[in-house]
Amino acid sequence: MTRIGTGAVGIGLCLVVIAGGLGSAAGAGVRGRVGDVVLRVAPAVTEGGSPLRPGDDAVVRFRVFAQHGADDELVSVGSDEARRVELRWDRDCDGAAEPVATLPLEGGVVPGGGAGSDYRVVLVDLGEGVTVGSTVTVEFGFARSGDLSVTVPVTSAVVGPSRCAGA
């Protein structure tokens, strides 16, 4: 599995989710939970809007929080369907989602993140089996809660620039 992150994630519950509602995080998607951590994950979409071909990149936007104000940290993301995986966050709300090594959850939320922050996983150099209408599995590794594998559909929508609530 192609995986990025710092440090090792302890053995934890591995949960695969295939259907569900995403709410306001970019349309229909998937919701998953491991420990106190809840993820809402949007479908994987291409950045350029052109038809998806092997070697293209796709973006998976997500929202994350920990129930009960729990502290945790997203320390790794991975996928077998891509050559490389990047974790990105538009921390400054300036329209550019920059690579980050981890995403901390303090008191249940990302410090300075807010409800409208743009968190995303970029799947770089997709494999031949990934096409519009197929699915990709992304594994999120949390320091305390463990691993959560989420399977999301691949769609033909276009990824717009980073957006923050109120920006």
Q: Is the distance from CB of 131 to CB of 52 less than 8 angstroms?
A: yes
99-112: buried (b, 16+ CB within 10 Å) or exposed (e) per residue? Answer: eeebbebeebbbee
The residue to which tokens 């089996």 are assigned:
129
- Mean pLDDT to the nearest integer, 153-158: 80
> CA dist 61 to 58, 64, 66, 122, Å?
10, 10, 17, 9
d(CA 3, CA 6): 10
Q: Whole-model pTM above 0.85?
A: no
Instruction: Give the pLDDT confidence of 13-24 residue by residue, as tens digits.
Output: 222 332 233 333
How confident is the model at residue 93, as a pLDDT?
80
Place of tokens 């949390």: 142
pLDDT at position 84 over 80: yes
pLDDT of residue 163: 60
Taking alpha carbons only, the member of 149, 142, 163, 139 closest to residue 65 is 142
pLDDT tens-digit map of 34-80: 999 999 999 998 765 566 788 889 999 999 999 999 999 999 999 99
Mean pLDDT computed over 83-98: 90
- Predicted confidence (pLDDT) per residue in 98-136, tens digit: 999 999 999 999 888 765 678 999 999 999 888 888 999
Is residue 27 over pLDDT 50?
no
Q: Does domain 2-156 have CATH number 2.60.40.1890?
A: yes
Alpha carbon 47 to its chain centroid, in Å, reads 15
The CA-based angle 149-74-30, given to 5 degrees, is 40
Quickly tell me which residue has 């249940």 as its tokens.
Answer: 108
Residues 131, 69: Cα–Cα separation, whole Å: 38
